[in-house]
Amino acid sequence: MFARLKEKIEKRKAVVGIIGLGYVGLPLAVEFGDQGFKVLGFEISKKKVEVINSGRSDIDDIENRQVKNLVDKGLLEATLNFALLKNADCISICVPTPLSKTKDPDVSFILSAVEQVKKYLHPGQLIVLESTTYPGTTEELIRPMLEETGLKVGKDFFLAFSPERVDPANRNYIIKNTPRVVGGTTPLCSKIAKLYYQQIIKQVVAVSSTQGAEMTKLLENTFRSVNIGLVNEVALMCDRLKIDVWEIIEAAKTKPFGFMPFYPGPGLGGHCIPIDPHYLSWKLKSLNYYARFIELAGDINSHMPEYVVERTTRALNQIKKTVKGSNILVLGVAYKRDIKDVRESPALDVIKLLQNAGARVKYNDPHVPSILMNCDKMKSVRLSSSQLKKTDCVVIVTDHSDYDYDWIVKNSRLVFDTRNACKQVKSNRRKIVKL
């Protein structure tokens, strides 16, 4: 089975199946398609299937022409029919792994995908989970489900975990030049999974187990969460000390060793950093261990939107305005610069908190035409000098590169900058309040 699958992969004859065509799955599908593999993309969204099969992309990092080129060549097909999994030689599972309201892992999307794989599992297939999850998921949940078919892992089929490392809007590091970690349930599983990813990625690093690969991903994101939590707390300290936190960070990063700059902001967003560390924390609670750094960083980061509203209130007081009844314009609702993704975006919390405080809130985002707030749709307003001039306070939550910050400051009465986006603005700086 190993030799047969190895030959198929090396000769680009293996059919690649990807379950989930979102921010992780679609770029992966495009990379395999570009290398000549036939790719089947499995989805539960009829709309997404129609979009992709019409040659269009619905995510930031993939252009329409890339999808159309592969669809026209017959190398990419999206489908709702999971029975076609029987035609796939290698299957990557790229489904969401959210948290429940109690911050417990929700692996229901993984289990649902594996249930479909199980129905059509046959000898010689490679199954790889890419969805971020807690250490032990692949070995303790997925392996038993698949072996219920009577097929044995490492002998009849191959099972591995390889965490995605997608950074939306990052043009420097994409799939092919971002090293990939893989861990198999057996040595042969690791070997074939490594070969699979080597077809599209320059450097693939094998670790000794699926648990090791799962833990690697959680360490990466916990590292970011904890350091962002630290620098957010430093920002709170600097506010009390009347010190410019941005100046302090710029000075500290001149040290050529022992320091890595992180930057404060209005809170964490996206599908990874606000969520993944809690997977590790949850797992460790089951082992009677309390992950103090993770919990503390999560607490600090989750309360940053409240701090933004408090600072906005203080800034308005300086111009003799109360937050209640003030006209506030939020600039940027995507969770990071130059994308349209609003998952877990702190901007949504900032807007809600400002509304609860009695402010009249509008927003502008060139990438996000509308958002859903309390079951009501809010539309992005046109950014004009007249709009800015009738606004009491502009709150920069997402520092999109589309914005002309000089012009924004010039036409605004007051600007609260949570991202240091106005650092290059030279004139009218008295109007700017920085986080």
What are the catalytic residues? 272
Cα 319 to Cα 149, 279, 324, 406: the distances in Å are: 70, 44, 14, 21
Alpha helices in 256-324 (DSSP H): 276-285, 292-302, 304-318
The whole-angstrom separation of Cα 174 and Cα 181 is 15
**In 3D, which of 384, 416, 187 has the Cα closest to residue 315?**
416
- Cα-Cα-Cα-Cα torsion 349, 225, 95, 115, nearest 10 degrees, comes to -110
The whole-angstrom separation of Cα 60 and Cα 23 is 8
**In 3D, which of 178, 157, 155 has the Cα closest to residue 166?**
178
Residues 6+ apart with CB under 8 A from 161: 128, 129, 130, 137, 138, 182, 183, 184, 210, 213, 214
SS3 402: coil
φ, ψ (nearest 5 deg) of residue 330:
-90, 125
Whether the CB-CB separation of 278 and 299 falls below 8 Å is answered with no
What is the helix (H) or strand (E) element at residue 159, kind and residue range? strand 158-161
The whole-angstrom separation of Cα 112 and Cα 85 is 14
The whole-angstrom separation of Cα 71 and Cα 69 is 6
